[in-house]
Structure 1
Amino acid sequence: MVLKMALREFSHPKRGLYAFHSSPHDRNSTEREMAAAKTKLTKGLLIMGVIGALFLILGCVSLIVFDDIIHSQISSRLPLNKKGQTYNQWKAPKIPIYFQVWAFDIVNHLEILEGKRPAVIQKGPYTYREKRVKHDIRFFDNGTVYYKERRSFLFDRNLSVGPENDTVTSVNLAMVAAMTVLRYEPPLLKSLVEGAFQFFKESLFVETSVHDLLWGREDNILKAIADIAKSFNVTLPLNDTVGLLMGQNNSDTGEYLIHSGQKGLKDFANIISWNRQRKLAVWSTDYANTINGSLGILFPPFVSKDHKQYIFSTDLVRSLTLTYQKDVEAHGIPLYKFYAAPITFANVSINPLNAGFCTPLGHCLPSGLLNMSNAYYGAPVVLSNPHFLFCDPDVVESVEGVQPDTEAYESHLNIEPLTGISMDADKRMQINLHLQSIDGFRETYNLEPVVMPIMWLNESATIPEHQAEQFKTEVLNLILALTVVKYGLIGLGALLLVIAASFPIVQKIRRKKTTDVAGGNIQRVQPTRKNPNNSNKNDDYDDPLLVPTSDSENNQNIY
Structure 2
Amino acid sequence: MGCCNRSCGLIAGIAIGAALALLGGILFPVGDNLIVESVLEEAVIQNGTPTYENWLTQGGGTLRQFWFFDVQNAREVVEEGATPVVVEKGPYSYWTRYLPKMTVKFNPNDTVSYSILNEAVFEPLYSSGTEMDVISTLNLAVAYNYTFDGPYNIFTGKDDVTKVGTIDKWRRSRTLDFWNDTYCNMINGTDGSNFAPYVDATKPLYFFSSDICRSVSASYERSLELKGIPVYRFTLLASTLASPLENPDNHCYCRDLETTKNCSMAGVLDISSCQKGQPIYISLPHFLHGSPSLLESVKGLKPILDEHDTYLQVEPMTGITLGFSKKIQVNMMYGPSKVITVLKKVNSSTIFPLVWMNESAELDDESATMLKMALVDSITMLDVIRKLLLGVGLFIFALCLILYIVVRCKGKRIV
C-alpha contact 1:133 1:151 (8 A) present in aligned 2: no
Q: 1 CA distance for matches of 2:340 and 2:118?
A: 38
Counterpart code for 1:328: L
- 1:291-302 aligned at under 5 Å gives the runs 291-302=187-198
Q: CA deviation at 1:425?
A: 1.0
1:328-339 mapped onto 2 (5 Å cutoff): 328-339=224-235
Structure 2 vs 1, CA of residues 507 and 86 (structure 1 numbering), >3 Å: closer, same or farther? same
Q: C-alpha root-mean-square deviation of aligned residues, in Å? A: 2.5
Amino acid paired to 1:317: C
- TM-score of the superposed pair, with normalisation by structure 2: 0.90
CA distance in 2, matches of 1:429, 1:509: 79
What is the one-letter code of the residue matched to 2:358? N
User: Match of 1:342, as an amino acid?
Assistant: A
Alignment of 1:438-517 (within 5 A): 438=337, 440-442=339-341, 443-503=343-403
* Offset, 1:447: 2.7
Q: For residues 58-103 of structure 1, what are the alpha-carbon distances to aligned partners after superposition, in whole Å with 9 as ceiling and x for unaligned? A: 2232222112211222233332234444434433333331111110
- Give structure 2 stretches of 5+ with no counterpart: none
Name whichever of 473-482 and 40-49 sits farther off: 40-49
Provide the residue aligned with 1:283 in structure 2: 179
1:123 equivalent in alignment to 2:89: yes
Q: Percent identity?
A: 30
Q: Which amino acid aligns with 1:449?
A: S
Q: Give per-residue Cα distances to partners, 1:214-264, cap 9 Å, x unaligned.
A: xxxxxxxxxxxxxxxxxxxxxxxxxxxxx12x3x31121111110012213
The 5 A counterparts of 1:4-43 are 36-37=2-3, 39-43=4-8
Which whole-Å CA distance do the structure 1 matches of 2:207 and 2:312 have between them?
10
Matching residue's letter, 1:77: E
Name the structure 2 match of 1:97: 62
1:42 to 1:316, Cα distance in 2 relative to 1, 3 A:
same
Q: Which amino acid aligns with 2:214?
A: R
Q: What aligned pairs does 1:192-207 form with structure 2 within 5 A after superposition? A: none
The offset of 1:40, in angstroms, is 4.2
Name the structure 1 match of 2:105: 138
TM, length-normalised to structure 1: 0.68
User: What is the CA–CA distance in structure 2 between the aligned matches of 1:141 and 1:341, rounded to whole Å?
Assistant: 38
Q: Which runs of 5+ in 1 are unaligned?
A: 1-32, 174-242, 512-559
Q: Deviations over 1:372-427 (max 9, x none)?
A: 11111222211111111121233223321111111111111111112111111111
Note if contact 1:132-1:151 (Cα within 8 Å) is conserved in structure 2.
Answer: no
Note if 1:47 corresponds to 2:12. yes
Matches within 5 A, 1:317-466: 317-360=213-256, 363-364=262-263, 366-438=265-337, 440-442=339-341, 443-466=343-366
Question: CA distance change for structure 1 residues 489 and 450 in 2, over 3 Å: closer, same or farther?
Answer: same
For the pair shown, which has the larger CA radius of gyration, 1 or 2? Answer: 1
Counterpart residue type for residue 322 of structure 2: M
Q: Which stretch shifts more, 121-130 or 502-511?
A: 502-511
What is the count of residue pairs matched by the alignment?
Answer: 406
* Contact persistence 2:65–2:94 (CA under 8 A): yes
1:61 is aligned to 26
Map of 2:38 onto structure 1 = 73
CA contact (8 A) 2:51 2:320 kept: no
Contact 2:245–2:264, Cα closer than 8 Å, also in 1: no
More divergent stretch after superposition (345-354 vs 452-461): 345-354
Structure 1 CA distance for aligned equivalents of residues 322 and 133 of structure 2: 33
Cα distance in 2, alignment partners of residues 506 and 336 from structure 1: 53
Q: What's the offset of the Cα at 1:278?
A: 0.5
Query: Per the alignment, do residues 439 and 497 of structure 1 end up closer, same or farther by CA in structure 2, a change over 3 Å counting?
Result: farther
Taking structure 1 as reference, are residues 454 and 498 closer, same or farther at Cα in structure 2, changes over 3 Å only?
A: same
SS of residue matched to 2:187: coil
1:158 aligned to 2:58? no
Contact 1:152–1:251 (Cα < 8 Å) also in 2? yes
Matched residue of 1:266: which SS? helix
